[in-house]
Amino acid sequence: MTDAHAPVDADAEPRGDLCIRALAMPADTNANGDIFGGWLLSQMDLGGGVFASKVANSRTVTVAIEAMTFRKPVYVGDVLSVHANLVRIGRTSITVHLEAWVLRRKERLQQMLVTDGDFTYVSIDEQGHPQPIQRNGQSIAT
């Protein structure tokens, strides 16, 4: 695991596993013409959910979003990439640090950090109840 809470250098490279990539479209804008924060948050949640389900080897649901920081706006035409770092695995939960980076439409040379935050997911069974996370056939104890 990495130190996901270390200060993020905006000129650095993305940290963690690439989970999702999406193109910001005109339909995703707010009244100011920037990409709506809710769209960005949903893309991060989708990417984090993919990562958490892979780690838990089960279905997961989002239970908390903490320490969310919107650093820069996202514009129509930006290519968004969401990267995940594992912060903590509990008995039924997984905390993931997510970073959202963009390639600007007109500046395809360097990615830019636009948002980051910690998301917590819970492993659930077929009935939607929390279940212990299994790793190598063993339950993880906290």
What is the full per-residue pLDDT of the chain (142 aa) written as tens digits?
Answer: 444 444 455 558 899 999 999 999 999 999 888 899 999 999 999 999 999 999 999 999 999 999 889 999 999 999 999 999 999 999 999 999 999 999 998 776 789 999 999 999 999 999 999 999 987 655 555 4
Distances (CA, A) of 90 to 42, 63, 114, 135: 24, 13, 28, 12
CA–CA–CA angle 127, 132, 51 (5° rounding): 85
Q: Which domains does the chain have, with CATH numbers?
A: 17-139 (3.10.129.10)
Confidence (pLDDT) at 12:
82
How many whole angstroms separate alpha carbon 97 and alpha carbon 118?
4
Q: Record the pTM.
A: 0.85
